[in-house]
Amino acid sequence: MILLTGLTKRYGETTAVRDLSLRVESGKVTGFLGPNGAGKSTTMRMILGLDRPTSGTALIGGRPYATLPHPLREVGALLDAKAAHPGRCARSHLKAMARSNGIPGARVETVLDTVGLSEVAGKRTGTFSLGMGQRLGIAGALLGDPRVLMFDEPVNGLDPDGVRWVRELMRSLAAEGRTVFVSSHLMSEMQQTADRLVIIGKGRLLADAPIAEVLASSSRNTVKVRSPHPAALSRLRDRLTAGHAEQPSPGELIVTDVPVERVGELAHEEGVPLHELTARKASLEQAYMELTADSVEYAAPGGGRT
């Protein structure tokens, strides 16, 4: 388990992380989301003792990272896919990590096989693609068979098969009772992977909830209605509160913020024959954009993000 209490980091007059308190529980994949500059990487670096907090605490299993006697056996982390000497081969890189923490050498071959790098284990890491570097970084995180795992953008550079493999790996690690804390900008992937979401903006906590709760909070939950009788559909639209229904085409109605059951009841009352009545949940991207709308540092003209 990871526990943050009042975690704050300032760089001069800039506050990167502001009074952040949260609990990352075991047995779940916790997604860590936020716009560029939100403080995600800084938070992860403070958890791992790479940056010193201005105030507050970051504990792993009740202890600061710096006090762990064999940290790789308790915490595995991937923050930088290129954090390996380019002149060393993958196997030598992992062996050096293993020796530093008293990890048996046989574990190196196990994790190389797990991440699919056994056949290129003798190649220098400087020749690796970004995707191969990600796999090597994941191997390093798994090396000590730790109970806590942290990944910063682990699917960057991976092809679709690799992305699916990472997703399944995260889920399997959580199913084993481990703590899995992963940041990503790929909303569709987080929607398929995470059990819980932590969302920050400008260093502040914006949401800390199960993913279903975050999705339910979106104003973009809609009901799609189709009917072969446009006039009847217009009557249904008029029965709904102003602004809650749009008729993009004569035979289609999109209803916002009205339960699908209520829409069905009104359609019945108006005698509207239906060809479709479908509740559509908001995507994570939609919910995320709404939550972080006031926390984006870099926005293109017209409201687009960069």
C-alpha distance from residue 169 to each of 20, 155, 225 (Å): 28, 12, 39
Indicate whether 195 pLDDT > 70.
yes
Which CATH number goes with the domain that contains 56?
Answer: 3.40.50.300
The pLDDT tens digits of the residues spanning 24-70 come to 999 999 999 999 889 999 999 999 999 999 999 999 999 999 999 89
Identify whether residues 134 and 240 lie together within a single domain: no
pLDDT in the model for residue 82 = 82
Look up the domain containing 165 and give its range.
Answer: 2-216
Assess if residue 114 is contained within a domain: yes
Question: pLDDT-derived band of residue 299, with 50, 70 and 90 as boundaries?
Answer: low
In DSSP terms, which residues pair with 197 in a beta bridge? 31, 209
Q: Mind listing the pLDDT tens digit for each residue in 163-188?
A: 999 999 999 999 999 999 999 988 88
User: Is the pLDDT reported for residue 149 higher than 90?
Assistant: yes
**Domain annotation covers residue 24:** yes
Q: Is the pLDDT assigned to residue 220 strictly greater than 80? A: no
**Domain final residue, candidates 216, 237, 261:** 216
Domain ends where: 161, 196, 216?
216
Indicate whether 166 and 53 sit together in one domain: yes
Over residues 239-291, the pLDDT tens digits come to 887 667 888 999 999 998 788 899 999 999 999 999 999 988 778 888 888 88
Q: Does residue 120 share a domain with residue 244?
A: no
Does some domain include residue 298?
no
Q: How far apart are CA 106 and CA 91, in angstroms?
A: 11
Number of domains, the chain: 2
- ∠ CA 222-213-208, nearest 5°, is 135
The last residue of a domain, from among 195, 216, 237: 216
Does 203 map to a domain?
yes
> Is 201 in the same domain as 158?
yes
Residue 183 lies in a domain: yes
Q: What is the pLDDT of residue 306?
A: 46
In a domain, 239, yes or no: yes
Q: What is the pLDDT of residue 242?
A: 63
Q: Quote the pTM value.
A: 0.81
Do residues 270 and 126 both lie within one domain? no
Mean pLDDT of the chain: 91
Please indicate, yes or no, if residue 166 is contained in any of the structural domains: yes
At residue 241, the pLDDT reads 73
Shared domain for 227 and 203, answered yes or no, is no
What's the confidence (pLDDT) of residue 298? Answer: 55
Q: How far apart are CA 228 and CA 302, in angstroms?
A: 37
DSSP string, 228-269: S-HHHHHHHHHHSPTTSEEEEETTEEEEESS-HHHHHHHHHH
Q: Are residues 59 and 165 in the same domain?
A: yes
Q: Are residues 150 and 245 in the same domain?
A: no
- Which residue type sits at 300? A
Are 10 and 74 in a shared domain?
yes
Site of tokens 């060393």: 88
Three-state SS at 113: helix
If asked whether residues 163 and 252 sit together in one domain, one would say: no
So what's the pLDDT on residue 246? 87
Residue 258 maps to which CATH number?
3.30.70
Based on the domain organization, do 120 and 249 belong to the same domain?
Answer: no
287 within domain boundaries: no
122 and 249: one domain? no
Q: What is the pLDDT of residues 76-113, one digit of tens each?
A: 999 988 889 999 999 999 999 999 999 999 999 999 99
Q: What is the pLDDT of residues 279-292, one digit of tens each?
A: 887 788 888 888 88
